[in-house]
Amino acid sequence: MDYVRGDSDQALIPLKVLVAGGFGVGKTTLVRSLSEIPPLLTEQEMTSASIGVDDLGPVPEKRTTTVAMDFGRITVDDSLILYLFGTPGQSRFWFMWDELARGCVGAVVLVDLRRVDDCFPAIDYFENRRLPFVVAVNGFPGSDDFDDDTVRDALALPPDCPLVRMDARRPESGLTTLITLVEHALARTAVPSQL
């Protein structure tokens, strides 16, 4: 079998960043504006063992279903390829996040200030797992009405968590957000493992 671990010499190295946030906050827009490949969806199978029984609703005999997930790709250099995954919005799909989140560079949590509650599950998720993340306020109308301190308070952000303003439709804006995330992740590697 020909498996090559990504820190050997001959390596092609896959990396990934998660894009999270509530429904309709711009996850798909951000993934697509940054991706060099046409928009693609992937399907992930979900078995009934992975989800709450009540989720099966009126079809209790149904054992599996699939969820769709956006992803995109950025070829960074000759050997680094970065994948962006838009996480499914609904909390019942969080089991997928664990597989996706394993080994990730970090996450961009998108926020619509008109519906801040929607991003709390994502923030909680990444905070609890001590994964690097940045909070990116997507530029919906009215998002400039609140200064950063007010937003930080409303989201109860940890002091070291970067907060950026962005427009998910603009690739250069998304790129700046990604760079902020990688800088944050890199800074955290200098900190001894936190327990």
Show the tokens assigned to 155.
């989201």
β-pair partners for 14: 81
Stretch that binds other proteins, among 103-111, 118-126, 145-153, 157-165 (CB under 8 A): 103-111
Q: How far apart are CA 178 and CA 82, in angstroms?
A: 11
Longest dimension (CA), the chain: 57
Stretch that binds other proteins, among 35-43, 55-63, 115-123, 137-145 (CB under 8 A): 35-43
> Is position 99 an interface residue for other proteins (rule: CB under 8 A)?
yes
The SS3 call for residue 165 is: strand
Beta carbons within 10 angstroms of residue 68's beta carbon: 10
Q: How far apart are CA 99 and CA 97, in angstroms?
A: 5
Show the tokens assigned to 124.
């909680």
> Is position 66 an interface residue for other proteins (rule: CB under 8 A)?
yes
Question: Site for other proteins (CB under 8 A): which residue of 110, 135, 151, 178?
Answer: 178
106: left (phi > 0), else alpha (psi -120 to 50), else beta?
Answer: left
Question: Site for other proteins (CB under 8 A): which residue of 20, 82, 113, 155?
Answer: 82
Minimum distance, C-beta of residue 132 to other proteins, in the bound complex (Å): 7
- Give 77 or 149: the residue with its C-beta nearer to other proteins: 77
Residues near other proteins (CB under 8 A) are: 1-7, 11-16, 37-45, 66, 68, 71, 73-74, 76-77, 80-83, 99-100, 102-106, 129-132, 175, 178-179, 182-183, 185-186, 188-191, 193-194
